[in-house]
């Protein structure tokens, strides 16, 4: 499988993988200030990396990352 990220797959690839492992991971991550040295999406990047590793180990697919946050600036 070229990727486990659903947004890059064709419908037949999604159906084939769901037949093997009916699991979908939904990475959630904050958009928040970490100081000038990190991007606002650092938490979401980590969540996506963990979801991709879990899917590689157990099968299944990774849904697009959902960003949310508390920053009001």
Q: What is the pLDDT of residue 35?
A: 87
Secondary structure of residue 15 in the 3-state scheme: helix
Q: What is the pLDDT of residue 34?
A: 85
Q: What is the pLDDT of residue 69?
A: 84
Averaged over successive runs of 10 residues, the pLDDT of the chain (73 residues) comes to 92 95 96 90 96 96 92 64
Q: What is the pLDDT of residue 71?
A: 66
The C-alpha angle 14, 63, 70, rounded to 5 degrees, equals: 170
Q: What is the pTM of this model?
A: 0.87
CB 1 within 8 A of CB 10: no
């Amino acid at each position: 499988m070229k990727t486990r990220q659903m947004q890059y797959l064709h419908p037949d690839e999604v159906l084939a993988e769901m037949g093997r492992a009916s699991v979908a991971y939904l990475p959630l991550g904050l958009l928040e200030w970490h100081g000038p040295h990190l991007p606002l999406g650092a938490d979401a990047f980590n969540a996506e990396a963990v979801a991709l590793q879990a899917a590689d180990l157990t099968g299944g697919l990774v849904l697009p990352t959902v960003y949310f946050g508390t920053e009001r600036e």
